[in-house]
C-alpha cells in the first residue's frame, strides 16, 4: 500500500474509533502485533520513553476534543498495559461489530 493510502486508512480508523468509542476490531490487543506498533516501536522519538500501546483515538477524550484533534483525558493512564475503561475504550461498539459480521 502507498504511504498516502496508509495515511488515509489510519485517519479513517482513528475517526471510527473516536466516534464509536472503541479500540481495535476485537480489543486493544489488536494493536500488539500490528503494523502500527512496528512503526511506533521503530520511531526514534521514543528512544528514551516507552512507545504507546494503542493509538490516541483509543483513549477516552476530554470534552471539546475532536477526531481531528484528539486529547486524551490521561495519556499515561490510557497507555497502561492493563486497559481500564475509565481511560481507554475497551468494548467494541455493537454497531461496528455488527457491521463487520455482516460484511464477512
Q: What is the pLDDT of residues 46-73, one digit of tens each?
A: 888 889 999 999 999 999 999 989 999 9
Spatial distance between the Cα atoms of 31 and 47, rounded to a whole number of angstroms: 20
Give strand pairing partners of 37: none
**Which residue has better confidence, 70 or 90?**
70
Q: Are 72 and 60 in contact (CB under 8 A)?
A: yes
Number of residues written out for the chain: 104
Q: Could you tell me which residues come within 8 angstroms of residue 18 by beta carbon, excluding any fewer than 6 positions away?
A: 57, 61, 66, 67, 70
Q: H or E stretch including 40?
A: helix 35-41
What's the pTM? Answer: 0.80
- The stretch 83-97 carries a mean pLDDT of 77
Amino acid at each position: 500500500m502507498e504511504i498516502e493510502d496508509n495515511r488515509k486508512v489510519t485517519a479513517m480508523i482513528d475517526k471510527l474509533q473516536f466516534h464509536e468509542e472503541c479500540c481495535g476490531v476485537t480489543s486493544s490487543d489488536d494493536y500488539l502485533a500490528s503494523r502500527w506498533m512496528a512503526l511506533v516501536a521503530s520511531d526514534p522519538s521514543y528512544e528514551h520513553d516507552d512507545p504507546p500501546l494503542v493509538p490516541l483515538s483509543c483513549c477516552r477524550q476530554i470534552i471539546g476534543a475532536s477526531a481531528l484533534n484528539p486529547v486524551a483525558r490521561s495519556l499515561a493512564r490510557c497507555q497502561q498495559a492493563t486497559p481500564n475503561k475509565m481511560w481507554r475504550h475497551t468494548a467494541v461498539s455493537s454497531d461496528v461489530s455488527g457491521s463487520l459480521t455482516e460484511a464477512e
